[in-house]
Structure 1
Amino acid sequence: MNVNKGALMGRLTDFEVITMSKKQTLTITVMTVLSCAIMLLIEQGLETTYVTKTLAKIVMFLVVPLIYIRFILKQRILEFLNLKHIDMKRLKSGFLLGLLASGIVLLTFLLLQDFIDTKAIISDLKNRLHITAEVYIFVALYITFGNSLLEEFYFRGFIFLKLYQTNQKVFAYVFSAGLFAFYHIAIFATWFNISLILLALVGLFTVGLVFNWLNTKSNNFLNSWILHILADIAVVSIGFYLFQVS
């Protein structure tokens, strides 16, 4: 019986590639679920300041993934994130959808503000996170540019695009968007009633899907980061308003 060694090696290589992809998928899935669970515990279970929570988030969402990429996967960071060559023309969608998202955030707040306990939000910011009106400007700048970068690198650049590239496209979309929504429970769990929390989760999951789709256009997370920045400008603007009226 004659065996084509080249074909056999090809099949073995394909099998090894598939096995490696599954291992990476499992590793990333377990790693990120644990990281978000830890952040949920830190956000709601521990009495710590906003600075402490931010440092924990930098470790969980930036340092740990970078170590995994560089020393476990043994890939260069910019190559992994596809940031060595950036096509600015592919980032227009992020700007346009970002402007639309900002409008939607502001309109949603105007429509639902009577159902939101704004005093409870400000109280939570002051008492649990120790954020006052005087330091809010610095927090707002971090949220708009730093926090948005962390989240887009983590949920889209590290999780979604890596899983998407292993041809597990449906799982990549659902898992990344679902984890993105789940993580934010830690932030607003004490702000809203159950109906608004469920509405927010559905909205965040949908937003996560849109962010993911955007990044398939550029094959990096820059489109969703631009959108995230513009949406956060609207969010922190609401925060300034709440500090003034509360």
Structure 2
Amino acid sequence: MDMTRHKRITALILFITLPILMAPVDLFLAPNYWVKSFVKIILFILVPLSLNQYFKWVKVSDIFVLKRKQVLHIVVLAVATYGLIVLAYLLLKDLFDFSMVTGQLASSMAITKNNFLFVFFYIPLVNAMIEEGFFRGFGFLTLNNYWPRWMSYTLSAFVFSLYHVAIMAQWFSPVLFLLLIASLVIAGLFFNYINEKTGSILTSYVIHAGANLAINTIGLSLFGII
């Protein structure tokens, strides 16, 4: 097997396998959010970075470059994303039951009202970067160098969406859950698009952080903090 084929097949297998390995951690093995986060950093960041030293899939510094003229557009999109998610919640909160969310967070991740403020900042600042580094940096931008464009787009978006099934499967009613998964697929495709245009995961990271911040704002309301 020539090196290029070896690199493309290994990247594909790794991108599919690592979220599968993370799924039982989210579902069964680690009831503490911080343990899960530690394992997630190992699987989604340290493993791909270590193997990238050998396979040379992507030059890591290149995917963190953001042109100054792009910054304002990305910030506007992040603010718009924040507003859209909060507005959607305000419109839907009387139609769907969100009361089970806090109970699931407490039982499956040990996230409670007492520690939620720390989680409030950790998720958009750190967790969003972990996911963008893996699903867009290692996933889309790397796969796009070795596989057809349509495959890189769809695979990275669907794996991103399906990964969250293990996290949120019990949080919502079936209808709301399906809407959420569909929204994650669309978000994944959109993140891929802006990453392709800019070549940087910082673009999707800022918007992803804005989305997480909106979800956490809703969490403040569900926990009765605001």
Report if TM-score (shorter chain) is over 0.5.
yes
Displacement of 1:127 in angstroms is: 2.1
Matched, 1:238 2:224: no
* Aligned with residue 94 of structure 1, among 74, 82, 99: 74
Matched, 1:154 2:134: yes
* Aligned with residue 51 of structure 1, among 24, 31, 34: 34
How do residues 177-188 of structure 1 correspond to structure 2 at under 5 angstroms? 177-188=157-168
* Aligned with residue 112 of structure 2, among 125, 129, 132: 132
CA distance in 2, matches of 1:160, 1:74: 12
Contact 2:33–2:111 (CA<8 Å) still a contact in 1? Answer: yes
Displacement of 1:21 in angstroms is: 4.3
Contact 2:153–2:189 (CA<8 Å) still a contact in 1? Answer: yes
Unaligned stretches of 5+ residues in structure 2: none
Contact 2:57–2:142 (CA<8 Å) still a contact in 1? Answer: no
Secondary structure, aligned partner of 1:166: coil
Secondary structure, aligned partner of 1:139: helix
Number of equivalent positions: 226
Q: 1:19-38 CA deviation, whole Å, 9 max, x = no partner?
A: 64443332122112211112
CA distance in 2, matches of 1:59, 1:209: 25
Unaligned stretches of 5+ residues in structure 1: 1-15
* Aligned with residue 153 of structure 2, among 148, 167, 173: 173
Q: 1:157-212 CA deviation, whole Å, 9 max, x = no partner?
A: 11101122336211111011011100111221011122222111111000001111
- Change beyond 3 A, Cα 1:25–1:132: same
Q: Alignment identity in percent?
A: 30
Letter in 2 for 1:191: W
Q: Which residue of 2 aligns with 1:10?
A: none
Q: Which residue of 1 aligns with 2:99?
A: 119
- Change beyond 3 A, Cα 1:112–1:21: farther
Letter in 1 for 2:137: G
Contact 2:156–2:188 (CA<8 Å) still a contact in 1? Answer: yes
Over the aligned positions, Cα root-mean-square deviation in angstroms equals: 2.1
Letter in 2 for 1:114: D
Displacement of 1:86 in angstroms is: 3.6
